[in-house]
């Protein structure tokens, strides 16, 4: 299972890459294996305000539909348009081309709730 050390994680299997006050978010390699073949993705609108732990996106696979939760409170500043057209990117490259959205977060205190790679490894 691929769990990059430079990322943070949530208990609901999202990964978070922090760069300044922006966080890029996607689902983990573990999650995409569990979901199996992603066939559709619904992403939030650019500029939308999101709250930590609230459903923000939906991934549909051949198995079912899964809510994706925002790990941080803030404003959506980017969505992965490429994944909208090719949802399989989420399976092929979950930590790269398969990212879901970027949030400009407003509360640095929420970062302390994220898991380290080691903590996430123990969770799964």
The predicted pLDDT at position 63 comes to 83
Contact 76, 44 (CB under 8 A): yes
The predicted pLDDT at position 1 comes to 83
Percent of the residues in the chain that have a pLDDT greater than 90, as a whole number: 96
- Express each pLDDT in 14-36 by its tens digit: 999 999 999 999 999 999 999 99
Contact 89, 98 (CB under 8 A): yes
Summarize the confidence of residues 43-69 as an average pLDDT: 95
For the beta sheet containing 74-79, the strands, ordered from the edge strand earlier in sequence to the opposite edge, are 8-9, 14-19, 22-27, 101-105, 74-79, 49-50
- Express each pLDDT in 83-107 by its tens digit: 999 999 999 999 999 999 999 998 9
Give the closest residue to 39 by CA, choosing from 81, 99, 89.
89
The predicted pLDDT at position 9 comes to 98
Ordered domains of the chain (ranges, CATH) = 8-108 (2.40.50.100)
């Amino acid at each position: 299972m691929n769990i990059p050390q430079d990322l943070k994680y949530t208990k609901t299997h999202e990964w978070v890459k922090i760069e300044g006050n922006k966080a890029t978010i996607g689902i983990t390699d573990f999650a995409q294996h569990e979901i199996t073949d992603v066939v559709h993705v619904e992403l939030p609108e650019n500029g939308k305000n999101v709250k930590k732990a609230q459903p923000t996106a939906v991934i549909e696979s051949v198995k079912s539909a899964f809510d994706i939760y925002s790990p941080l409170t803030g404003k959506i500043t980017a969505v992965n348009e490429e994944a909208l057209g090719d949802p399989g990117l989420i399976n092929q490259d979950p930590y790269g081309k398969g990212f879901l959205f970027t949030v400009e977060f407003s509360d640095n205190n929420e970062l302390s709730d994220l898991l380290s790679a080691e903590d996430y490894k123990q969770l799964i």
